Amino acid sequence: RKEVEQDPGPFNVPEGATVAFNCTYSNSASQSFFWYRQDCRKEPKLLMSVYSSGNEDGRFTAQLNRASQYISLLIRDSKLSDSATYLCVVNRRAGTASKLTFGTGTRLQVTL
């Protein structure tokens, strides 16, 4: 079983739609969680951290369920510019280093 699993998509949604991605992780010792966004042929960029109580940043809402070991990302009022691959990332401490494991990503295509 992969350490971090995501539905690869693609999710094709019209502009203005709400879309949700889920991600599951296998290592219960995982300590912190993130969502990254990666545009085609570019480096991943941090979208948001995921906190236990859930957190929101504008149109984006992240949730964490430690008991079920899954993370979610909700995007409201989708924009064309939201089209990208969204990477679920799980962090496990290794001494003082952060060992982040990336999911393979969920591709989102927002259309007119």
Partner 1 sequence: SQTIHQWPATLVQPVGSPLSLECTVEGTSNPNLYWYRQAAGRGLQLLFYSIGIGQISSEVPQNLSASRPQDRQFILSSKKLLLSDSGFYLCAWSKGFGNSPLHFGNGTRLTVT
| Cα 15 from chain centroid (whole Å) | 20
User: Can you tell me which of 14, 40, 53, 95 binds partner 1, judged by CB under 8 A?
Assistant: 95
**Nearer residue to partner 1 within complex by CB, 28 or 43:** 43
CA atoms within 13 A on the CB side of 49: 6
Among 45, 59, 66, 79, binds partner 1 (CB under 8 A): 45
Reading the block at residue 73, the tokens are 């990302």
CB 11 within 8 A of CB 91: no
Name the residue nearer to partner 1 (CB basis): 18 or 26: 26
Decide: is 34 part of the binding site for partner 1 (CB under 8 A). Answer: yes
